Amino acid sequence: MTPRRAAVLGHPVAHSLSPVLHSAAYRALGLDGWEYTAVDVTEEQLGGFVEGLDESWAGLSLTMPLKQVVLDLLDHVEPLAGVVGAVNTVLLQPTGSGRTLVGANTDVHGLVAALREGLGSGPGERPVGSALVLGAGATAASTLAALAELGCASPTVLVRSLARTGGLQRAAHRMGVTPRFEILDPASPLVAQVDVVVSTLPSRAADPVADALAGQAAAGAAAPRGVLLDVVYDPRPTALSRTWSQAGGTVVGGERMLLHQAAEQVRLMTGQVAPLAAMAEALEAALLPSVTRS
């Protein structure tokens, strides 16, 4: 296979673990000469960077805020990415007149696969009847799509400001899902009552929820009965994940979403099934220092 280039773009992007995951996949697949790097690109620089891509490029991974900015630069947006309103993957496909830029979203795939690890998959897999989403950003939109795929089209979304939910409400309308929006109350009893909780909040922003959950546990309140996925993976475990586990709930680390969405990107960019085990091993090795720090 002809050597190709790929990269993750963002600002900042030095912290990204995508190079670890994709490079491990290339080695395991024997893709000699394939290269995956991290490139610091701002919103203002994105158009120029994309315009300069040549035939050596296989694709791009995008972090926020580029997932939405890139939409106007693409020739085609896959339906899922369109309804979610966020593209985290750009594929460069050669055409007779040059190249076509295709936008895709693998975050939904990553969320579904990670949650299935916690829920249990197979013929007896139960649909998600109730769910709670913390936060209203781009990852929350992908989360709504993932929950709908798992059977829950009417989750509750807890946000710090209802005035900042317009984008998520529009995405929900495009998906045909009907979430209920409420102001985030760290002590909300729903946290311990639903089948699935997904926190899309930034690092440490969910700590008040963890504190409230610990207080409820100390007071003899009912333990969480559902699966928690905290998309944050540094520090690992997060305060919310640690408290959830101590209370007896099932936790899926955010690194599992990262792994599965990257595996789908590898499949789309290379045309080969991603070597999940090799990628997971490389990811665990890269994350070990953060576990030691915590």
Residue 293: its pLDDT value, please?
A: 44
Residue 160 CA to chain centroid, in angstroms?
20
Boundaries of every domain in the chain: 5-105+256-293, 108-255
When mean pLDDT is compared across 42-46, 121-125, 241-245, the lowest value belongs to 121-125
Residue 121: its pLDDT value, please?
A: 57
Rounded average pLDDT over 278-288:
96
- CB count in 10 Å sphere of residue 48: 9
Residue 120: its pLDDT value, please?
A: 86
Residue 161: its pLDDT value, please?
A: 93
CATH of region 108-255, choose from 3.30.70.870, 3.40.50.720, 1.10.3720.10, 3.40.630.10: 3.40.50.720
**pLDDT at residue 65 above 70?**
yes
Q: Are domains 5-105+256-293 and 108-255 of this chain identical in fold?
A: yes
Residue 16: its pLDDT value, please?
A: 94
- Ramachandran category for residue 127: left, alpha or beta (phi over 0 → left; psi -120 to 50 → alpha): beta
List, for residues 4-42, the tens digit of each pLDDT value. Answer: 999 999 999 999 999 999 999 999 999 999 999 999 999
For residue 123, name the pLDDT band (cuts at 50, 70, 90).
very low
Q: Can you read off the two tokens belonging to residue 13? A: 């992007």
198 forms bridges with which residues in the sheet?
133, 229
**Strand 131-134 versus strand 196-199 pairing type:** parallel
**pLDDT at residue 292 above 80?**
no
User: Residues with catalytic annotation?
Assistant: 67
Whose CA is closest to 261, among 128, 170, 146? 146
**pLDDT at residue 290 above 80?**
no
User: Cα separation of 221 and 17, whole Å?
Assistant: 38
User: Which residues are CB-neighbours of 175 under 8 A, at least 6 positions away?
Assistant: 83, 84, 144, 145, 148
Whose CA is closest to 119, among 108, 106, 107, 131? 131
List, for residues 136-189, the tens digit of each pLDDT value. Answer: 988 999 999 999 999 999 999 999 999 999 999 999 999 999 999 999 999 999
Residue 266: its pLDDT value, please?
A: 98
In the chain, which ranges are E strands? 5-10, 35-40, 57-62, 76-77, 89-95, 98-104, 131-134, 156-159, 180-183, 196-199, 227-230, 250-253
Rounded to two decimals, what is the model's pTM? 0.94
List, for residues 98-110, the tens digit of each pLDDT value. Answer: 789 999 999 999 9
For residue 294, name the pLDDT band (cuts at 50, 70, 90).
very low
Residue with tokens 């959950």: 213
Q: What is the mean pLDDT of the chain?
A: 93
Whose CA is closest to 85, among 109, 51, 115, 108? 108
Rounded average pLDDT over 44-53:
96
The architecture (CATH level 2) of 5-105+256-293 comes to 3-Layer(aba) Sandwich (3.40)
List, for residues 190-213, the tens digit of each pLDDT value. Answer: 999 999 999 999 989 999 999 999
